[in-house]
Amino acid sequence: MSSISNYSNNNEKCMLIIDPEAYSEQFPFKKVSNSWHNKFLYFGLEGAKAWYSVSEDPVYSDPQREDKIIDVFNNLLKDLHSKIFISLGPGNAKLDLELIKILKRRNKTIKYIPVDISDALLFWAIVTISSEVNVPFGILTDIEERLYFIKNKIFEISLRPKIFTLIGNTLGNLQINEKTFLDELSSVMEIDDFFLLNVSTITKQWKLFLDPRMKYENYTNSIKFFLTRGISIHTGESTKWLIKNFTKVVGFRHNKRINNNISEVIEIYDKRNDRLITRISRYLFENLVNWINERKDFQIIFSHQLIENNVIGDGFLLIKKLK
C-alpha cells in the first residue's frame, strides 16, 4: 500500500505517491544495504543539493554541449505525439523542461510524471515542470528495483501513447545491468509507447588514460562533495575531511562489465575498503544500437550521436515498444 501526500502549485494540487518499500529503505537510513552505492548519493535534501551543484558545475555540464543536446531533442521529438511524459530520474529537471516544451507543440495537454528515489529532487521536478504542464503526481521510488510499482500507478491514467525518458547517462550509473533494466522497462510499457534514451558514448579511439574521470584534476569541489557524501553515509566520516584527503581515499579503476561489449566502465571506489561509490558506463554507440536491435520487443526509430572531441560524446535513441 502506498502513501500519498499533496503538493500545491499554481492553484493545482499534485499528489506525491510514496512507495513504502523504497521509502522504508530511504528514511531514516535504518535499513542501509552494503550493496547500495550510487543510490546513496542522491538521498535527502543534502544529496539533492549536492547533485544540483554538480549539475550546474561548468566542468560537469558545458552550456554549449547542452545547447547541442537540446537541438538533437528538437529534431528527435518534433513530430512525436505523446499524452504522458514519464521521467525516470529527472535530476535538476532542466532538460525535462526543454523536452516538455518540445512535446507541448504537438499536444498542449500532455501530462508529466516524474519518478525519483530522492524526495527533494522529485519536488524540484514537480515545481519546475508544473509551470508548463499538468503534473498529476510524482512517484518516490527506486527505478532500478521497483518499476512494477510505477506500472501500477501510471496505468491508473488511461492515456496513450506514453513516453518514458532516461537521460543524462542514468543508464550508465545503474547498479543493475542494462538487460535487466530494459527487460523490466519493457514489462511496464505498452505497445506503441516510446522510450527516449540518452547515454554517454565513446569512439574506438577511447583509452582509459584519456578519460576525464580517471584524472583527479577534473574533480571540482562540487563533484568531490557529491561523491564523498556516499562514503560518509557508510562510515560516518565528515565530508570536509574526506574532501581534504580525496586522493588518499578515492580511487578509479576500469571494469569491463558482462554486457555484450556495449560499454567501457569506470568505477569510483573507496581505496581503503574497496567499496564502490559509483559507476560510469560509456557506451560504444554502434554496439549499443545493434544490441538493442536484437531485441524483439523494441524498435529503434531514431538514433544520433554527438561527438564532443574524437573520444567522448552523447548518444540518443528513440525507441518504440512493439510487443
Confidence of residue 1 (pLDDT cuts 50, 70, 90): very low
Strand pairing category for 3-9 and 312-321: unpaired
Residue partners of 87: CB distance under 8 A and separation at least 6: 93, 96, 112, 113, 114, 115, 125, 165
- DSSP3 helix / strand / coil % (the chain, rounded to 5): 40, 25, 35
What DSSP string describes 284-295?
Answer: EHHHHHHHHHT-
- Distances in whole angstroms, Cα of residue 96 to Cα of each of 77, 192, 245, 293, 301: 13, 21, 36, 26, 21
Q: Identify the helix (H) or strand (E) that includes residue 54.
A: helix 44-55
The CATH number of the domain covering residues in 15-54+61-204+297-321: 3.40.50.150
Phi, psi (deg, nearest 5) at residue 284 = -80, 105
Q: At CA 69, angle to CA 264 and CA 319, rounded to 5?
A: 70
Question: What mean pLDDT do residues 245-271 have?
Answer: 88
Check residues 92 and 16 and name the one with the higher pLDDT.
Answer: 92
Beta strands in 153-297 (DSSP E): 162-166, 194-202, 250-254, 263-270, 276-284
Check residues 3 and 45 and name the one with the higher pLDDT.
Answer: 45
Q: How many Cα atoms sit within 13 Å of 252 on the Cβ side?
A: 19
Summarised one tens digit per residue, pLDDT across range 78-103 is 999 999 999 999 999 999 999 999 99
The predicted pLDDT at position 124 comes to 93
Question: Any idea where the domains of the chain sit in the sequence?
Answer: 15-54+61-204+297-321, 208-280
Distance CA 196, CA 304 (A): 12
- Distances in whole angstroms, Cα of residue 38 to Cα of each of 130, 183, 228, 236, 264: 28, 21, 11, 17, 18
In the predicted model, is pLDDT for residue 161 greater than 80? yes
- pTM comes to 0.91
In the predicted model, is pLDDT for residue 116 greater than 50? yes
**Range in 150-164, 167-181, 214-228, 303-317 with the lowest mean pLDDT:** 150-164
The predicted pLDDT at position 33 comes to 56
Round the average pLDDT of the chain to a whole number and report it. Answer: 88
The predicted pLDDT at position 29 comes to 44
Indicate the length of the chain as a whole number.
323
Q: How far apart are the first and last CA of the chain?
A: 29
Summarised one tens digit per residue, pLDDT across range 117-139 is 888 999 999 999 999 999 999 99
Residue 192's CB: how many other CB atoms inside 10 A?
Answer: 11
Question: What mean pLDDT do residues 217-237 have?
Answer: 93
The predicted pLDDT at position 6 comes to 54
Are 281 and 172 in contact by the 8 Å Cβ rule? The answer is yes
Question: What mean pLDDT do residues 141-147 have?
Answer: 88
Summarised one tens digit per residue, pLDDT across range 20-65 is 776 655 454 444 455 667 777 887 788 889 999 999 888 887 888 8
